[in-house]
Structure 1
Amino acid sequence: MEAWTLVAVAVLLLVVAPLTGVAAAWWAHGDARALVREQREDLRHVRAEVVERASRAAPLAQSARQPTAKATVRWTDPEQGPRTAVARVPPGTRPGEKVDVWLDSRGHGVTPPPGTAAVWQNTVTIGICTTGAAVALILFGHTVVRHAAMRRRLAEWDQEWARTEPAWTGRRA
Structure 2
Amino acid sequence: MSTTKWSIDPTHSEIGFKVKHMMFTNVSGSFQKFDASIETEDDNFENAKIEFSGDVDSITTGNADRDTHLLSPDFFDAEKFPKLTFSATSFNKQNEGEYELKGELTLHGVTKPVKLEVEFGGLAKDPWGNVKTGMSITGKINRKDWDLNWNSALEAGGVLVGEEVKLHIELQFVKQ
Q: With structure 2 as the length reference, what TM-score do the two structures score?
A: 0.23
Q: Give 1 or 2: higher helix fraction.
A: 1
Q: Give 1 or 2: higher strand fraction.
A: 2
Larger Rg, first or second structure (1 or 2): 1
